[in-house]
A and B are shown apart, each in its own frame.
Chain A
């Protein structure tokens, strides 16, 4: 009985202490209405030294209708020496806590990517874990401010859906090569592969338009592939989404599946890369002017893709930017010290690509009539 009384007294003391510790109220407790959640972060070049960051906050729809008028987002920008410095300065101006933990997309200005590289301005992300590393990364050509200040014409909760532009389950297509932040980071540490990051411009009726995909060399943007050329990347990297329209000799086909086989080896001191791609497709629209047989369409597709591949490889080889990750396949035949030289090796590599296409069906209307 005595023990229980004692215990009760202890419990009472504890019961008084717990609320006391709560009164301190600091640490990591920040109520959600006291945070401003960043949906999209943009980093642009300001002048020679500094950067300018843009942030877009979606505004919550409050039953009170406090403060937001008819706009459902808020845009802010801040100049700083580095991105994290600019964020710090932005914090000083904000009425609420700047919360980057749910950022969906990060936009980097094309000029910045060409001059300084992407990794440098985003190093703080990995270290501090203030920003999710699965956010989408894209390069922006043109005025970033205009992009950030314009309401999203497709009318959703603005900014939140930036990510949907790339996602397979929404607006993603193979030409929009979805790249997460961590992919760029891992390529930075991997000399055997370079990143291919989408390059966006402003669109008239929607938020963005895809201009192409930028490829990198030594962490800096060195060139870009057109959306059509990106398809070669998707085919080689086996990242093909099943819907895709290709025109060959006036006929439209939908590439439904593809399978790439890559063989790597050495030939006379040069990397020798042979790629064979099997493509399964479906006829969407045949040419009325010159009807073709299935066989011809297949051959046309093969020719078209192979020619395009030659262009793409030439383009990337010229800059020594192995976006396809062929270098990873040479890990066992190179020593760790030689990894750095892969860019040069890639420039000299002989790459052959062979496409074998197979028309699986011709749709609901027969081809022969």
Chain B
């Protein structure tokens, strides 16, 4: 702390007529048990008070406030302060700083106080990714701390070109959000658009990036408009592809925008594998997507409408296993899919120790019993199990949920019109997707004309070369 700076700071504590910062703080934090205003002692400007929320501040920052050896406070006390930075602020700034975990040094009659950054936030360690496991690739993930996440990104990309734009969201919670983008690689139009969208957000508070994604606009009611990831390497890769990343305080999931439908089928480790293997895996996932969406519908179609599409032998097997089942195929299928979704959901929500039991009871016992009770046919159990299995192959959790919903839609289509219904449902889904735009980019890209901003990232990755192409318009 230079002498000059110290002087100006002390100047902030000078008594001002009508200055009642301390009283104002006490008023604002009335009824908060953890609010403490400790009198330090007398100094040149008057009585010195230290205000903080005892639950938020780290004691190591301010040794002196706890040290009873000092009977009298003076300017030298503050020099023991070991925090990172301090600033001057008026009442609203002080209130905000206290909520953030800062400490305010003030006198009863000053209009402004000195804000000391003493926050000691509770956070997890940087651990392995929980939702996006990879076998080959970096093994750490974001956590809930904004600062840690930003630091992780900075560590991966040591360049001044990585720009970070910050804002706070929520008139009550004041959550910090940051937008990462690479200068010259990201489209400026996209960045401006995102900033402008942020300015338009009106909300009391925000808890997760999923919520943020909805607030950032987009008409989609079903499809997630951008990928959320907890992997710094994935974010870094996307940034180099010209996308932007949004990090939000309090959640380990970062948004990578804009997102196209194909992005949801890309696992984090695809880039780390040989091209043929990556293509194979992606094809596998794509087939799984199709199976997951269309298999129950297809089963209904070939057992109740277009039975001549498959072989007579299969038809007979299906007829045999359905003999004695009291419900129509459609109802039977709805029933088992509902049951299966319940088992999956129970497995997800329950603690891990009980989860295994639920799977056991639900899957094995119930599955066996339901066949023996002749409520659904054997063939359908195979179909339902395959459907559930292929759903787990879907990399992105949000997309997996969407597919779980959409398979019912396809099922109804198939139940009415058979194979034609499947195709029509497919058409309707594609049409909805074709009308979606994620942050100004067509959701179906790279198919069809490009919307305002677009980086040809998909192709770039396949070729393994870096080629950023500016789109006009």
Contacts and interface: CB of A to CB of B under 8 A. Distances in A.
A63 B320 contact: yes
A7 B219 CA distance: 12
Main secondary structure of the interface of B (DSSP, over half): helix
Given A99-B307, A102-B307, A160-B312, A32 B415 contact: no
A37 B316 contact: yes
B374 interface: yes
A101 B328 contact: no
A282 to B, nearest CB: 35
Interface in B21-54: none
Interface size band for B: 20 to 34
B319 interface: yes
Given A28-B418, A35-B319, A132-B308, A157 B324 contact: no
Interface size band for A: 20 to 34
B315 A102 contact: yes
A60 B312 contact: no
A30 B304 contact: yes
A29 B378 contact: no
A31 interface: yes
Interface in A151-188: 157, 160
Given A18-B412, A101-B308, A102-B312, A32 B324 contact: no
Contacts of A29: 304-305, 328, 330, 415-416
A31 B317 contact: no
Interface in A1-41: 4, 7, 18, 21-22, 25, 27-33, 35, 37, 39
B412 A60 contact: no
A220 interface: no
Nearest to A131: B308
B329 A102 contact: no
B79 interface: no
Contact of A63 (B305, B313, B321): B321
B313 to A, nearest CB: 6
A63 B317 CA distance: 10
Q: Which of B312, B415, B416 has the most CB of A within 10 A?
A: B312
A245 to B, nearest CB: 32
A132 B308 CA distance: 9
B328 A31 contact: yes
B303 interface: yes
Given A22-B412, A27-B416, A28-B418, A35 B307 contact: yes
Interface in A39-87: 39, 58, 60-64, 66
A4 B317 CA distance: 47
A39 B312 contact: yes
Contacts of A22: 330, 412, 415-416
Contact of B303 (A32, A66, A101): A32
A26 to B, nearest CB: 11
A33 B322 contact: yes
Contacts of A28: 305, 418
A6 to B, nearest CB: 13
A32 B412 CA distance: 17
B185 interface: no
Given A32-B329, A64-B374, A104 B312 contact: yes
A4 B378 CA distance: 42
Contacts of B416: 21-22, 27, 29
Contacts of A132: 308
A157 B316 CA distance: 10
A64 B415 CA distance: 26
A28 B301 CA distance: 10
A48 B317 CA distance: 41
Interface string A135-158: 000000000000000000000010
26 contacts: A22-B412, A22-B416, A27-B416, A28-B305, A28-B418, A29-B328, A29-B415, A29-B416, A30-B305, A31-B329, A32-B304, A32-B315, A35-B307, A37-B316, A39-B312, A60-B319, A60-B321, A62-B320, A62-B324, A64-B323, A66-B323, A101-B308, A102-B307, A102-B312, A132-B308, A157-B313
Interface of A: 4, 7, 18, 21-22, 25, 27-33, 35, 37, 39, 58, 60-64, 66, 99, 101-102, 104, 132, 157, 160
Given A4-B221, A60-B316, 9 more contacts: A18-B412, A31-B322, A32-B304, A33-B322, A35-B319, A37-B307, A39-B312, A102-B307, A104-B312
- 10 cross-chain pairs, A with B, having the tightest CB-CB distances, nearest first: A60-B320, A62-B323, A101-B308, A60-B319, A33-B322, A32-B303, A102-B312, A60-B316, A64-B324, A32-B319
